[in-house]
Amino acid sequence: MKQPIQYALLFLILITLFTSCKKRSREDLPDSAPFDIYAAGREGYVAKYWKNGNAITLGRGSGSSDANAMVVSGSDVHIAGYEINAAGKYVSKYWKNGTAISLTDGTRDAYANDIFIQGNDVYIAGQEIANGRTTYQAKY
Protein backbone atom coordinates (compact mmCIF):
# COMPACT_ATOMS: atom_id res chain seq x y z
CA MET A 1 0.00 0.00 0.00
CA LYS A 2 2.93 2.35 0.65
CA GLN A 3 4.37 2.08 -2.85
CA PRO A 4 1.31 3.42 -4.79
CA ILE A 5 1.25 6.48 -2.51
CA GLN A 6 4.99 7.06 -3.02
CA TYR A 7 4.60 6.75 -6.80
CA ALA A 8 1.64 9.13 -6.81
CA LEU A 9 3.56 11.64 -4.69
CA LEU A 10 6.62 11.39 -6.95
CA PHE A 11 4.40 11.84 -10.01
CA LEU A 12 2.80 14.99 -8.55
CA ILE A 13 6.21 16.46 -7.68
CA LEU A 14 7.55 15.81 -11.19
CA ILE A 15 4.45 17.30 -12.84
CA THR A 16 4.77 20.40 -10.63
CA LEU A 17 8.46 20.82 -11.49
CA PHE A 18 8.03 20.42 -15.24
CA THR A 19 5.03 22.72 -15.51
CA SER A 20 6.45 25.48 -13.29
CA CYS A 21 9.94 25.59 -14.89
CA LYS A 22 9.10 27.18 -18.19
CA LYS A 23 11.96 28.47 -20.35
CA ARG A 24 11.62 32.09 -21.34
CA SER A 25 12.22 33.05 -24.92
CA ARG A 26 13.57 36.39 -26.15
CA GLU A 27 10.00 37.37 -27.01
CA ASP A 28 9.01 37.02 -23.34
CA LEU A 29 11.52 39.69 -22.27
CA PRO A 30 10.52 43.35 -22.09
CA ASP A 31 11.54 45.55 -25.03
CA SER A 32 13.21 48.09 -22.79
CA ALA A 33 14.77 47.80 -19.38
CA PRO A 34 14.55 50.55 -16.75
CA PHE A 35 18.34 50.86 -16.92
CA ASP A 36 21.21 50.50 -19.40
CA ILE A 37 23.65 47.59 -19.33
CA TYR A 38 27.33 48.29 -20.11
CA ALA A 39 30.37 46.06 -20.58
CA ALA A 40 33.94 46.77 -21.67
CA GLY A 41 36.67 44.59 -23.14
CA ARG A 42 37.89 43.64 -26.55
CA GLU A 43 36.70 41.74 -29.57
CA GLY A 44 39.17 40.48 -32.13
CA TYR A 45 41.98 42.30 -30.26
CA VAL A 46 40.17 45.64 -30.64
CA ALA A 47 39.01 47.62 -27.58
CA LYS A 48 35.25 48.05 -27.43
CA TYR A 49 32.44 48.71 -25.06
CA TRP A 50 28.88 47.58 -25.31
CA LYS A 51 25.75 49.44 -24.30
CA ASN A 52 22.65 47.24 -24.22
CA GLY A 53 24.38 44.78 -26.54
CA ASN A 54 25.45 47.35 -29.14
CA ALA A 55 29.23 47.51 -29.70
CA ILE A 56 31.15 50.78 -29.84
CA THR A 57 34.70 50.41 -31.20
CA LEU A 58 37.41 52.27 -29.28
CA GLY A 59 40.69 50.97 -30.70
CA ARG A 60 41.57 52.80 -33.91
CA GLY A 61 45.22 51.92 -34.51
CA SER A 62 46.72 49.02 -36.41
CA GLY A 63 47.83 47.27 -33.19
CA SER A 64 45.86 45.45 -30.54
CA SER A 65 43.93 47.35 -27.90
CA ASP A 66 41.90 46.54 -24.81
CA ALA A 67 39.44 48.25 -22.49
CA ASN A 68 40.35 47.26 -18.92
CA ALA A 69 37.94 49.31 -16.80
CA MET A 70 34.81 51.42 -17.24
CA VAL A 71 32.84 54.02 -15.30
CA VAL A 72 29.55 55.52 -16.43
CA SER A 73 28.89 58.93 -14.90
CA GLY A 74 25.69 60.59 -15.99
CA SER A 75 25.65 60.31 -19.78
CA ASP A 76 29.46 60.04 -20.03
CA VAL A 77 31.26 56.73 -20.58
CA HIS A 78 34.86 56.69 -19.27
CA ILE A 79 37.17 53.80 -20.15
CA ALA A 80 40.78 52.98 -19.23
CA GLY A 81 42.91 50.63 -21.29
CA TYR A 82 45.74 50.49 -23.79
CA GLU A 83 46.55 50.41 -27.49
CA ILE A 84 49.71 49.11 -29.15
CA ASN A 85 51.35 51.77 -31.35
CA ALA A 86 53.21 51.33 -34.66
CA ALA A 87 56.50 50.82 -32.77
CA GLY A 88 54.99 47.89 -30.85
CA LYS A 89 54.77 49.76 -27.54
CA TYR A 90 51.73 49.61 -25.25
CA VAL A 91 50.30 53.11 -24.85
CA SER A 92 48.10 53.81 -21.84
CA LYS A 93 44.73 55.14 -23.07
CA TYR A 94 41.69 56.90 -21.68
CA TRP A 95 38.51 57.10 -23.73
CA LYS A 96 35.67 59.48 -22.91
CA ASN A 97 32.55 58.84 -24.96
CA GLY A 98 34.69 57.04 -27.54
CA THR A 99 37.31 59.80 -27.94
CA ALA A 100 40.84 58.58 -27.14
CA ILE A 101 43.45 60.37 -25.08
CA SER A 102 46.96 58.91 -24.83
CA LEU A 103 48.16 59.02 -21.23
CA THR A 104 51.77 58.10 -22.08
CA ASP A 105 54.08 59.09 -24.94
CA GLY A 106 54.47 55.56 -26.36
CA THR A 107 58.22 55.24 -25.84
CA ARG A 108 57.81 52.71 -22.97
CA ASP A 109 55.13 50.07 -22.39
CA ALA A 110 52.27 51.33 -20.21
CA TYR A 111 48.75 50.26 -19.28
CA ALA A 112 45.72 51.92 -17.72
CA ASN A 113 44.17 49.31 -15.44
CA ASP A 114 41.42 51.04 -13.50
CA ILE A 115 39.38 54.23 -13.44
CA PHE A 116 37.46 56.18 -10.80
CA ILE A 117 35.33 59.34 -11.03
CA GLN A 118 34.89 61.75 -8.11
CA GLY A 119 32.86 64.80 -9.05
CA ASN A 120 34.57 66.31 -12.11
CA ASP A 121 37.89 64.56 -11.41
CA VAL A 122 38.94 61.42 -13.28
CA TYR A 123 41.49 59.13 -11.63
CA ILE A 124 43.23 56.42 -13.64
CA ALA A 125 45.56 53.84 -12.12
CA GLY A 126 48.08 51.96 -14.19
CA GLN A 127 51.70 51.11 -14.74
CA GLU A 128 54.60 52.05 -16.99
CA ILE A 129 58.04 50.55 -17.52
CA ALA A 130 60.41 52.57 -15.32
CA ASN A 131 62.93 54.65 -17.27
CA GLY A 132 66.10 52.61 -17.87
CA ARG A 133 64.69 49.53 -16.07
CA THR A 134 62.81 46.37 -16.90
CA THR A 135 60.26 46.68 -14.10
CA TYR A 136 56.94 48.51 -14.01
CA GLN A 137 56.28 51.57 -11.91
CA ALA A 138 52.79 52.31 -10.57
CA LYS A 139 51.21 55.46 -12.05
CA TYR A 140 48.04 57.45 -11.64
Query: Which value, to the nearest 10 degrees, does the dihedral of the CA atoms of residues 38, 42, 47, 53 take?
Result: -30
| pTM for the structure as a whole | 0.74
Strand partners, 38: 51
Q: Tell me, yes or no, whether 111 lies in a domain.
A: yes
* % of the chain surpassing 70 pLDDT: 76
Name the residue among 109, 106, 112 with its Cα closest to residue 129.
109
Q: Tell me, yes or no, whether 1 lies in a domain.
A: no
Q: What integer best gives the mean pLDDT of the chain?
A: 86
Q: Tell me, yes or no, whether 98 lies in a domain.
A: yes
Q: Tell me, yes or no, whether 18 lies in a domain.
A: no
Whether residue 113 contacts residue 80, with contact meaning beta carbons closer than 8 Å, is answered with yes
Q: Tell me, yes or no, whether 132 lies in a domain.
A: yes
The pLDDT value recorded for residue 75 is 92
Examine the pLDDT at 17 and tell me if it is beyond 70. Answer: no
Q: Tell me, yes or no, whether 134 lies in a domain.
A: yes
Owning domain of residue 61: 35-139
Q: Tell me, yes or no, whether 63 lies in a domain.
A: yes
Q: Tell me, yes or no, whether 5 lies in a domain.
A: no
Condensed to tens digits (0 to 9), the pLDDT of residues 34-82 reads 889 999 999 999 999 999 999 999 988 788 999 999 999 999 999 999 9
The pLDDT value recorded for residue 60 is 86
The pLDDT value recorded for residue 61 is 78
Number of independent structural domains in the chain? 1
